[in-house]
Amino acid sequence: MGVRLNDNESITCSPKWGSINRAHSKSGAGFYYTMDTEDVGRINLNPAGAKAVQEGWCGRGGTMKITKISWDDWAVEIVETADQVHPLQMRTWKDNTMQTIPFVVPGLSNPDPEAEPPPATEPPPTEAAAPSPPADANQWTLDDLAYLMMWATQRAGACLETIQPEKEIGQGDYIGALERMAVSLFIEARKQGLRPAQKAPAEVTVQKVLEIFDGEIVKKAPGLTEYVV
């Protein structure tokens, strides 16, 4: 049994959920409503009471004072508003489960108690999409990547010669150091969007990179290529 208010009676409560429940009246005419609270249990509401709670909703976790003045005259006062107030929902037992339904109070908010939400309106037809623009400067090709790797290898070789000019190219751990430095340069250049100011055929650049990492390194690093963003 829930709490039933008499005329000119009030109750202060804190809603437990963000919804009230609707059920068919035992008499078979109309509906009755209930709201679960944290402090006073379940409160019984008639249609006017349910509508008043919706209009004076304090939010789940807030505090509200509900007054029944007469059968069709209820008043709701917010004592404390919840931190977050979401719209009050209505739920009912349907198809063997509790379901959220449109918040409809017959005679007060909508003449059709089983009204469904209006269908979503479809967006107006749009004109045919414009053709895609040509590839811009932010798109990379295999040619770009291969040429960037060749540049990174060349730059790494020049750096190593400057740091250790007396070490013969290709001797000892030179290849490992060259590879690590070239990869680091490649990654950083790619991250910053650097790309070559001039192009080279992909098959030439790829072959050159393979030759360099295969150990057939020229005695002197080729001229360095300038790169732009």
Residue 5 pLDDT: 93
Handedness of CA 220, 221, 224, 225 (dihedral sign): positive
Q: What pTM value is reported for the model?
A: 0.47
User: Across residues 69-92, what is the average pLDDT?
Assistant: 93
Fold of 9-101: OB fold (Dihydrolipoamide Acetyltransferase, E2P) (2.40.50)
**Three-state SS letters, the chain:** CCECCCCCEEEEECECCCEEEEEECCCCCCEEEEEEECCCCEEEECHHHHHHHHHCCCCCCCEEEEEEEECCEEEEEEEECCCCCCCCEEEEEECCEEEEECCCCECCCECCCCCCCCCCCCCCCCCCCCCCCCCCCCCCCHHHHHHHHHHHHHHHHHHHHHHCCCCCCCCCCHHHHHHHHHHHHHHHHHHCCCEECCCCCHHHHHHHHHHHHCCCCCCCCCCCCCEEC
pLDDT digits (tens, 9 = 90+) for 144-164: 778 788 888 888 777 766 666
166 pLDDT tier (thresholds 50, 70, 90): low
**Where does CATH 2.40.50 sit in the chain?**
9-101
pLDDT digits (tens, 9 = 90+) for 176-209: 777 888 888 888 877 877 765 555 444 444 445 4
